[in-house]
């Protein structure tokens, strides 16, 4: 083969952006893999309303978490609140190792794997965009802005018969995404200023 290594091919890169909203509370709790949900309307931003349902990979810019909104009228039942730490200020407890002027070091760019689809496993009635950032965060970041550059398609959605096989596939997706993004023509997209613009 001649020429430089191939980068993303049309329709990629696709770009979209949106606030992290509350999903169904299932990513972490049932699967052990948190997914930041963003509204489907974000899809129109990139002109990619027609994208096929499935699993994609790329880079995500994550903005700072805005000040907490007033508590929602009805808390989801069965949710376990984070443990209170009376001796420490909450912010210091959330990110003790950070030396920033505040405890929230974002904006930053992370590798990500995401699903666009109808979540057949859960028999969803609406389309959803769910993004798993390949990074371990000390706290949730609802309300923060996500800016996504999608660089490739991993697989279509499957209708899972068991949760274990779903989890197994997501683990594989994460490995595939990590390896793909390590390649230089894909890595360069993680350095684009667009990912952190306005964050």
Where on the chain is the footprint of ligand ADP (CB under 6 A)? Answer: 20, 22-29, 34-37, 132-133, 135, 137, 140-142
* CB of 11 or CB of 160, closer to ligand ADP: 160
Of 75, 130, 168, 197, which is the active-site residue?
A: 130
- The C-alpha atoms of residue 138 and residue 67 are separated, in whole angstroms, by 16
- C-beta of 17 vs 128, nearer to Mg ion: 128
Nearest to 156 by CA among 55, 64, 75, 44: 55
Subset of 3-32 contacting Mg ion (CB under 5 A)? 23, 27
**Whose Cβ is closer to ligand ADP: residue 6's or residue 163's?**
163
Active site residue 130: yes
Nearest to 13 by CA among 158, 118, 147, 182: 147
Check the CA dihedral 36-109-48-186 and report its sign: negative
- Closest among 142, 148, 196, 150 to 20, alpha carbons compared: 142
Distance of closest approach, residue 146 Cβ to Mg ion, in angstroms? 12
Residue 106, contacted partner among Mg ion, ligand ADP, none, CB below 5-8 A by kind: none
The option from ligand ADP, Mg ion, none interacting with 141 (CB < 5 to 8 A, set by class) reads ligand ADP
- Contacts for 174 with CB less than 8 Å, ≥ 6 apart: 113, 132, 134
State the catalytic residues. Answer: 130
Q: Which residues are near Mg ion by CB under 5 A?
A: 23, 27, 35, 37
């Amino acid at each position: 083969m001649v020429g430089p290594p191939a980068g993303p091919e049309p329709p990629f890169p696709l770009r979209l952006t949106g606030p992290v909203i509350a999903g169904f509370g299932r990513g972490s709790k049932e699967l052990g893999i948190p997914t930041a949900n963003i509204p489907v309307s974000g899809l129109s931003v990139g002109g990619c309303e027609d994208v096929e349902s499935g699993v994609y990979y790329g880079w995500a810019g994550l903005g700072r978490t805005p000040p907490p909104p007033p508590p929602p009228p009805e808390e989801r039942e069965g949710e376990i609140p984070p443990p209170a730490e009376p001796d420490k200020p909450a912010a210091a407890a959330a990110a003790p190792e950070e030396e920033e002027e505040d405890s929230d070091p974002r904006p930053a760019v992370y590798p990500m794997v995401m699903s666009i689809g109808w979540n057949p496993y859960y028999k969803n009635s609406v389309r959803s965009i769910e993004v798993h950032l390949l990074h371990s965060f000390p706290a949730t970041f609802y309300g923060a802005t996500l800016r996504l550059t999608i660089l490739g398609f991993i697989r279509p959605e499957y209708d899972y018969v068991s949760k274990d096989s779903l989890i197994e596939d997501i683990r594989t997706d994460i490995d595939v995404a990590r390896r793909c993004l390590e390649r230089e023509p894909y890595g360069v997209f993680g350095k684009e200023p667009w990912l952190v613009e306005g964050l």
